[in-house]
Amino acid sequence: MAAGDRLPGLGIFSLIEAYFLQRTIFANETFPIVCLGTLGVNLTLLGLWSVIIYPFFLSPLRHLPTLPGFLNHGKIIFDSPRGQAVLNWMKTIPNDGLIHMRDPVGQSYLVATNHQALLDVMSTNTYDFEKPWRARSFLARILGFGLILSEGHAHKKQRKALTPAFNIKNIRAMYSLMWDKTNELLVEMEKEIKLNPMEGTSPTEGVGKVEMCVWGSRLTLDIIGPAAMGRDFRSLQNSENKVAETFLSILEPTTEKMAFLAMNVVTPQWIAQRIPWKLNDVIAHDTQFLRELCNDIVREKRESLAASKASAEDLEADILGTMMLGGDFSDTELVDQMLTFLAAGHETTASALTWACYLLTLYPDVQERLRAEIREKIPSAESPITYNDLESLPLLNGVAQEVLRLYPTVPATIREAINDSMVAGTHIPKGTRIILCPYAINRSPLFWGDNGDEFEPERWVDTDKNGNRVPNNNGGASTNFAQITFLHGQRSCIGKDFARAELRCAIAGVVGRFAFEMQDPKQEIHIAGAVTTKPVEGMNLKMIRVEGW
C-alpha cells in the first residue's frame, strides 16, 4: 500500500489520540493557569516591543528630535489657541523639517516644520498620506464623504469632476453675486444697529451693537447657497433661519465639543455614537436635517432640469448643476458633496470675516486707511464692481491675506502614512501620523522672520516700477508653503479662490460702510472650536455708520 493510501487511516487515529489528549489536559486544573500565564507573557512582550524596543532602538524615527513625555499630542487638541504649542516647539527645538513625539502606546507622531517636509506630505507623496479613518468617520457625520474626506482614487475622480466649477473665470463671474449679498448684509446690519443702539445714543445716530460671528455666517451661507446649489436661503433677512442656526449649533466653540471631538478621534464610530452623551443626539439631529435638506435640493434640481430640458449653460450656473452635467455622481454622492460645500464653503469665510473685524479694531489706523482706499476706488456700496476693482486694491488684499495667515479656519490637521514613504529625507514607516499645523506654519519665524505673529498687511504690498502700490501673492516669504491655510498640492482646498473673493467683498463692504471697535475694549478674546476656529465670547462690536458711501 502506498504511503498516500495510509494517510486517511492515520488521520483517524490522530484525531482519536488528540481527543483523549485534550480531555487529559482540560481535566488538569493547571491548564487555565498555563493559558493565562502564556497570554500574560505574550502581552508583556508585545508591550515591551511596541512601547520600548521598537520605538527607542529600531524605529527609523528614533534619531529625530523628540519631545519628552507622552501627552504632547493631546496638547494639540486642547491647546488655546490650537497650534500655539506646535509654534512654540518650532521656535525652540532645532530640527531639519520634522519633530517627533509619541503617545502613551508608542504611536509616533511627526510635526512637519519646513518647506521640504510640507512639500513631500502635501505634493510629492501626497497619496501616501490620508486622514486617519476614525477622524474621517466622525467628520463625515457633518460634512458627508465629499471631496474633503475622500481619499485615493475616489478623491482624484471627484477633484477632476469638480475643478471646472472652480476655475478663475467662474470665480470672477461670481463677484456680482457676492457683492449683491454683501449689500444685503449692510442693509440688515443697519437695521440691527437701530434696534440695538449703544448706551447714550439714539437709534437715528447710527451707532449700535452687532455680533459679527452670526452676521458673517449668514452672509456666507447666502452666498454659497446660490453658488453651490441654486438655493437662496435668505438667512440675512430671517433671524430664525434653521440652516444658519444648525451650523452655529454644530460649530459653537466650546470645551465640551473639543472633548467630544477627541473622544470620536480615538474611539470607533460604532462605539462613539452609542455613548450616552447629549452631543451625540445634537449632532445626529442637526446632521439629519442638513442631509434631508440636501436630498430635497438634489431631487428638486433633477426634476426641474428634466422638466425644463436645461442647456449645458443653464446647468453650469451652479456647482450642483456642473456635477449633474458631468454625470459622474450618484444622488447619494451629490448629497455628500453638497453637505461638504454647504459647511466648508461658508464657514471658512465667515470665520475669516470675524477675525478681520477683530484685527481692524486692534489696528484702527489700518481700518481708516483701508476705508479710504475702498471709497476712492468704489463710489458707493450700490455701485457695480468688477473682480479687478477689488483684486487690484493693495491694502484690501494685504488685510485679507494677513487674516487668512494669522487665523486659519482649520488650525491643525493630521495625516497617516498608508505606505512606507519619505519626508524631508527621513524614511516614514506605514502607520506614522504627521501633523500639519497651519496656525504654526503661517507664523513660523523660519518663513516670516521675527514678526511672524504680527498683523502686517504691508508685507503683501509691493511698489511697481512706476511707484504705484500693487498687491503681491507671497507676503515676502520665500516659498508658497509658508502659508498653508488652504494647504497645497493635489489636496489643496478647491474653493480657495472662491473664499478669497468672498472675503474681499465682505471686508470691502463692511469697512466701506462702517467704522467699528469692540463693545468692551477690555474684553479678552479666546480662540477655540472643535472643527474650525471661532472667538469663544463671540465678536461683539460697536458699529458706527460712516456717511458718504
Q: Which of 447, 444, 473, 445 shows the shortest CA–CA distance to 461?
A: 473
493 is in an annotated binding site: yes
Place of cell 498640492: 489
- Are β-strands 433-436 and 413-417 bridged in parallel, bridged antiparallel, or unpaired? antiparallel
8 A C-beta contact, residue 233 and residue 225: yes
What element of type H or E holds 531?
none
Count CB neighbours of 515 within 10 A.
17
**Grid cell listed for 518:** 469692540
β partners of residue 514: 545
How far apart CA 482 and CA 319 sit, in angstroms, is 30
Count CB neighbours of 67 within 10 A.
18
How far apart CA 140 and CA 184 sit, in angstroms, is 32
8 A C-beta contact, residue 422 and residue 428: yes
DSSP 360-402: HHH-HHHHHHHHHHHHHH-S-TTS---HHHHHT-HHHHHHHHH
Q: Which of 410, 403, 399, 411 shows the shortest CA–CA distance to 354?
A: 403
β partners of residue 421: 428
Amino acid at 541: L
Q: Which of 33, 325, 312 shows the shortest CA–CA distance to 161?
A: 325
Alpha helices, DSSP H, located in 384-532: 387-391, 394-406, 438-441, 445-448, 496-513
**Grid cell listed for 76:** 494639540
Long-range contacts of 423-426 (CB under 8 A, 24+ apart): 423/97, 423/98, 423/110, 423/112, 423/117, 423/120, 423/121, 423/125, 424/96, 424/97, 424/98, 424/112, 424/114, 424/116, 424/117, 424/120, 425/96, 425/97, 425/116, 426/60, 426/61, 426/64, 426/97, 426/98
Residues that constitute the known binding site for heme:
493
Binding site, by residue number, is 493
